[in-house]
């Protein structure tokens, strides 16, 4: 299945509905179903349970293509797609129960706000989690939770709390609309809460202590790294759209006091060319890092900490470079783009909302820098 081509074929519809997505503050259910039929939410799901198990470049190319049409829509695809990695960690019976339906979408929160009491063959779970992007369209939800024993957090040998991802049916959770934000409005990233629900142990896993049960090369990629790469894919698509928007505007806009269009002004031409170079360079590094890691994964080589650091560095650089490009296009657009009727103001807000995610936040530079310096580094979040 060519999901990149499918994403590009949906451009007209997604762009046409961008304002609807923005004002609804979530992805419309029918569009989520269209994405599901196109295979977007199965891209990282193991083939053994009916997934596509695509290579990372294809997954990210699809997310980037949807993000070019609308960043919030791309974000929903990114979350639903990368969430499918759960199928590689769960017990096979649980993975089939969740992902056996090709139309299913899952999402969750990586904030360890849950409390899971060990009851033998299951956990008794309660908690409230933020950042539940796409939750309205999901049939299964998940949240990282600290395992409790005798009223205290169970500790790993490292001394850190034992935090596991708990997966449960969406109808067992309450969704709370807290999503009133400046950018990425259409992601529907509100809160969810569960109280005293039972989660069988087969429906839980740890990204720190567990290894994937699946052996395909996709699952040699770190789950956190894949999430960071997905954020960057959305950002790259959004920046490409911003360049397109500016070029369309520049052909007809005459800045105040000028007889020449914006496109005819040397300063605008130079600024556009510089932005194009920044965007292409960041994108090239991004896909180069993915390609290098994929080549090693296909050979069966272990994913070294240097490879993981390179993926995170490329994702962080791409996301932040993309935001710089969007800002440059926004500034070139002048007063015209202040109005909500112009897409560049939404591109601008979405670009800087993406930079706030913890996976590509400033500490990511420090992690990569420690590895480049040859210093001991906790790679559990790389």
User: Do residues 272 and 329 both lie within one domain?
Assistant: yes
User: Do residues 367 and 250 both lie within one domain?
Assistant: yes
Question: What is the pTM for the complete model shown?
Answer: 0.96
Backbone angles phi, psi at 181, to 5 degrees: -135, 175
Our measurement of the distance from residue 13's CA atom to the centroid of its chain's CA atoms, rounded to an integer in Å, reads 21
User: What is residue 257's predicted lDDT score, i.e. its pLDDT?
Assistant: 57
User: Do residues 348 and 274 both lie within one domain?
Assistant: yes
- Could you tell me which of 65, 18, 24, 9 has the C-alpha nearest to residue 343? 18
CATH number at residue 26: 1.10.540.10
Backbone angles phi, psi at 211, to 5 degrees: -105, 150
Backbone angles phi, psi at 185, to 5 degrees: -55, -35
Cβ burial, residue 111 (10 Å; 0-12/13-18/19+): middle
Q: Which range, of 256-260, 280-284, 344-348, averages the lowest pLDDT?
A: 256-260
Q: Is residue 211 part of a domain?
A: no
What residue numbers bound the domain in which 339 lies? 221-372
Q: Where are the beta strands (DSSP E) in 119-156?
A: 122-132, 140-149, 152-153
- Could you tell me which of 351, 350, 382, 352 has the C-alpha nearest to residue 366? 382
User: Do residues 201 and 228 both lie within one domain?
Assistant: no
User: Do residues 123 and 169 both lie within one domain?
Assistant: yes
Local confidence band at 253 (pLDDT 50, 70, 90 cut-offs): low
- Give every CB contact of residue 316 below 8 A, 6+ residues apart in sequence: 228, 232, 360, 364, 365, 368
User: Do residues 317 and 178 both lie within one domain?
Assistant: no
Q: Is residue 382 part of a domain?
A: no
Could you tell me where the DSSP H helices lie in the chain? 3-9, 11-16, 18-24, 29-37, 56-69, 71-83, 92-99, 223-250, 266-299, 305-333, 343-354, 363-372
User: Do residues 61 and 130 both lie within one domain?
Assistant: no
Q: Is residue 210 part of a domain?
A: no
Q: Is residue 31 part of a domain?
A: yes
Distance CA 220, CA 125 (A): 30
**pLDDT digits over 27-63, tens only?**
999 999 999 999 999 999 999 999 999 999 999 999 9
Q: Is residue 100 part of a domain?
A: no
Local confidence band at 224 (pLDDT 50, 70, 90 cut-offs): confident
How many folded domains does the chain comprise? 3
- Report the residue count for the chain: 382
Distance CA 256, CA 86 (A): 54
Q: Is residue 96 part of a domain?
A: no
CATH number at residue 366: 1.20.140.10
User: What is residue 50's predicted lDDT score, i.e. its pLDDT?
Assistant: 96
Q: Is residue 213 part of a domain?
A: no
User: Do residues 368 and 243 both lie within one domain?
Assistant: yes
Bridge partners (DSSP) of residue 117 are: 124, 148
CATH number at residue 184: 2.40.110.10
């Amino acid at each position: 299945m060519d999901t990149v081509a499918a994403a590009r074929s949906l451009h007209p519809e997604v762009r046409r509905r961008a304002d609807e997505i923005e004002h609804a503050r979530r992805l419309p259910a029918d569009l989520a179903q269209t994405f599901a039929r196109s295979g977007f939410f199965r891209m990282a799901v193991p083939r053994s349970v009916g997934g596509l198990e695509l290579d990372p470049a294809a997954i990210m190319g699809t997310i980037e293509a949807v993000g070019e049409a609308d960043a919030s829509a791309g974000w929903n695809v990114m979350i639903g797609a990368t969430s499918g990695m759960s199928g590689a960690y769960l017990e096979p019976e649980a993975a089939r129960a969740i992902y056996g339906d090709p139309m299913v979408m899952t999402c969750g929160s990586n904030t360890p706000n849950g409390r899971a009491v060990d009851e033998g063959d299951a956990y008794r779970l309660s908690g409230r989690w933020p950042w539940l992007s796409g939750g309205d369209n999901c049939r299964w939800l998940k949240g990282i939770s600290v395992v409790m024993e005798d009223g205290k957090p169970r500790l790993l040998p490292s001394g850190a709390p034992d935090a596991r991802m708990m997966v449960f049916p969406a109808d067992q959770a309450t969704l709370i609309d807290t999503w009133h934000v400046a950018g990425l409005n259409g992601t529907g990233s509100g809160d969810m809460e569960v109280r005293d629900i039972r989660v069988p142990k087969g429906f839980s896993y740890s990204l720190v202590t567990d290894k994937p049960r699946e052996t395909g090369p996709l699952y040699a990629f770190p789950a956190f790294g894949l999430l960071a790469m997905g954020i960057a894919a959305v950002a790259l698509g959004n920046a490409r759209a911003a360049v397109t928007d500016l070029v369309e505007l520049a052909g007809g806009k005459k800045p105040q006091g000028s007889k020449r269009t914006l496109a005819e002004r040397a300063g605008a031409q130079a600024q556009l060319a510089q932005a194009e170079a920044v965007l292409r360079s960041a994108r090239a590094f991004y896909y180069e890092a993915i390609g290098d890691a994929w080549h090693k994964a296909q050979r069966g080589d272990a994913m070294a900490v240097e490879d993981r650091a390179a993926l995170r560095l490329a994702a962080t650089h791409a996301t932040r470079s993309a935001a710089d490009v969007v800002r440059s296009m926004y500034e070139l657009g002048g007063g015209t783009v202040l109005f909500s009727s112009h897409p560049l103001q939404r591109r601008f807000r979405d670009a800087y909302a993406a930079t706030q995610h913890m996976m590509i936040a400033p500490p990511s530079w420090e992690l990569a820098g420690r590895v480049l310096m040859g210093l001991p580094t906790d790679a559990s979040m790389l």
